[in-house]
Structure 1
Amino acid sequence: MSVTFWRECWIVFRRQIRMNLRNPAWVLIGVMQPVLYLVLFGPLLKPIVESFPGAPDNEFTFLVPGLLVQLGMFGAFFAGFGLIAEWREGVIEAERVTPASRTALLVGRLMRDLAQLLVQALILVGLGYWMGMRGSVGGIVFGISLTLLIGGACAAASNALALTTKSEDVMAPVINMVMMPVLLLSGIMLPMTLGPDWLKRASDFMPFRWIVDAVRDGFVGDLGTSHLAWGTGWALALFVVAVWWGTAVFRKENA
């Protein structure tokens, strides 16, 4: 890609990040849900975590990787609501008259979303360490990287959905409808191996389940497992498809 493309991405990113810095409370609000799960749900896992197949050494080493993926999914999926507000205020209309690449309009926003997600992930991991989590440094770096990848996929899909619906009233129930089975079948809170056979078979078709397992394997230093390979593959595939969809919608919107 040309220098001009990345310059355009930087211009979009800089504008978006300035909007966030004017109200940094949104970064903390975005991380509060997984932090509350960590503080309130983590102690409940302590008596039963040893019964989990392949259980880690403590409940937070099990819970934090799942919460990282949850942070990447849920936080990024709501990125599109801000885009609807920008469309309503005429920002998208103003951008369409510029010679900027339509792909750069999406990538610049994704850069903002990923920067915000990185800050939130570091806060969550730091708090997890403080509460007793243990893990491989390389594995944690891998887990955060995978979280950023799936966060980018969800943010791109959210932006595409936002420009397609142009309505919070339509977008909100669609996201809730998608997120409910994802949360229940991804094993974020409890491993799917604890469920009945039919539920485990259903979870095999949930890409986020493999991503959660991959991040957990990475945290404990198991970097050669099939879970890690499948999770990485699914994260890359979802990212490519979501960015393609988001780019296509931006180009259509600005045609």
Structure 2
Amino acid sequence: MLKHTMLFLGYELRSTLRNPIWPLFGVLQPVLYLLLFAPLLANTGAVGASQAEALEAFTPGVMMMVALFGSLFVGFGMIYELREGYLERLAVSQVWRPAIVLGRTLRDVVQLIVQALLVVGLAALMGMRADPIGLLLMLLLMAVVGMLASGLSYGMALAVRDENGMSQIMQFFAMPLILLTGILLPMSLAPQWMQTVALFNPLYHAVEAGRALFAGDLGDGSIPLAFGLTLVLAVLALTWSVRSMRRLAG
């Protein structure tokens, strides 16, 4: 099982290294937010009086943006492989079928961690200072969120099997996810009804936990809540995608 998963992980990583332009494009939008939006927050005083304070609050949200949108669209490549018949041939082969999904998911997590380190490095150059232990825990939380988004994307790809339909579903949820997670602005600035709705969004708790981790507040209650919620949902999403792969093999 582990051997097959590692084989697929190695294959997917080599494929990514042969064409690294898309991962670089994937991190470009969060970097632009960091460069252009964080200074605006510092000037408004919404999340801190200085740029360093604004970056400390804004960078965890950008990292969650990388984790969410960097993995939420990976299923489009699987739809292409379904159309070409490549995935069916893999599914009926002698490999451990969950490894087909798990290897890709681990590839997505590795890619996200590299992208996150680029974002953190840029934020540090701009003046951000994060708690070292909190930063490591934030990377772990980001990996779990990436597994959740990746599992959802692969499961949806195997269920919908159409780029247009999947794109419509993704676009429908993209804006609410951005607004109700507090990625761009803290939800404390939102009206009360939006704050109430955000409490039912697991990604909101992940962003709040990230801000607490960066601030070094390791005892904040949002941290275990975020890890618990996202881990349970990630397991459910991966289970869905693995079962969908098994059904593909008949």
TM-score normalised by the shorter chain: which range applies? over 0.9
Aligned to 1:245: 240
Aligned letter for 1:126?
G
TM-score (norm 1): 0.94
- Once residues 47 and 210 of structure 2 are traced to their aligned partners in structure 1, the CA distance between those partners, rounded to angstroms, is 16
Deviation at 1:52, TM superposition (A): 3.9
Give the 4+ runs in structure 1 shifted more than 6 A: 53-56
Indicate which of 12, 15, 26 corresponds to 2:11.
15
Indicate which of 31, 49, 68 corresponds to 1:35.
31
Aligned letter for 2:39?
P
Do the aligned partners of 1:56 and 1:220 also contact (CA within 8 Å) in 2?
no
Deviation at 1:53, TM superposition (A): 8.6
Deviation at 1:91, TM superposition (A): 1.4
Indicate which of 77, 92, 110 corresponds to 2:105.
110
Alpha-carbon distance change, 119 to 53 in structure 1, aligned in 2, over 3 angstroms: closer
Indicate which of 71, 79, 90 corresponds to 2:74.
79
Aligned letter for 1:80?
G
Q: CA-atom RMSD, angstroms?
A: 1.6
Do the aligned partners of 1:69 and 1:147 also contact (CA within 8 Å) in 2?
yes
Deviation at 1:56, TM superposition (A): 9.4
Task: Count matched residues.
Answer: 250
Aligned to 1:120: 115
Structural mapping, 1:172-211, within 5 Å: 172-211=167-206
**3-state DSSP class of the match of 1:134?**
coil
Aligned to 2:44: 48
- Once residues 225 and 59 of structure 1 are traced to their aligned partners in structure 2, the CA distance between those partners, rounded to angstroms, is 19
- Once residues 127 and 169 of structure 2 are traced to their aligned partners in structure 1, the CA distance between those partners, rounded to angstroms, is 37
1:146 correspondence with 2:141: yes
Aligned letter for 1:24?
P
Aligned to 1:213: 208
1:229 correspondence with 2:217: no
Deviation at 1:198, TM superposition (A): 1.1
1:135 correspondence with 2:130: yes
- Once residues 54 and 97 of structure 1 are traced to their aligned partners in structure 2, the CA distance between those partners, rounded to angstroms, is 59
Which consecutive unaligned segments of at least 5 residues does structure 1 have? none
**3-state DSSP class of the match of 1:58?**
helix
Map Cα deviations across residues 22-58 of structure 1 (whole Å, 9 max, x no partner): 1111121110010000011111011233x44999952
Aligned to 1:97: 92
- Once residues 245 and 217 of structure 2 are traced to their aligned partners in structure 1, the CA distance between those partners, rounded to angstroms, is 39
Which consecutive unaligned segments of at least 5 residues does structure 2 have? none
TM-score (norm 2): 0.96
Do the aligned partners of 1:61 and 1:134 also contact (CA within 8 Å) in 2?
yes
Do the aligned partners of 2:134 and 2:213 also contact (CA within 8 Å) in 1?
yes
Do the aligned partners of 2:42 and 2:50 also contact (CA within 8 Å) in 1?
no
Map Cα deviations across residues 172-198 of structure 1 (whole Å, 9 max, x no partner): 010111222111100001111111111
- Once residues 39 and 47 of structure 1 are traced to their aligned partners in structure 2, the CA distance between those partners, rounded to angstroms, is 13
What percentage of aligned pairs have identical amino acids? 36
- Once residues 112 and 207 of structure 1 are traced to their aligned partners in structure 2, the CA distance between those partners, rounded to angstroms, is 23
Aligned to 2:165: 170
* Bigger shift: residues 139-148 or 234-243: 234-243
Aligned to 2:63: 68
Aligned to 1:26: 22
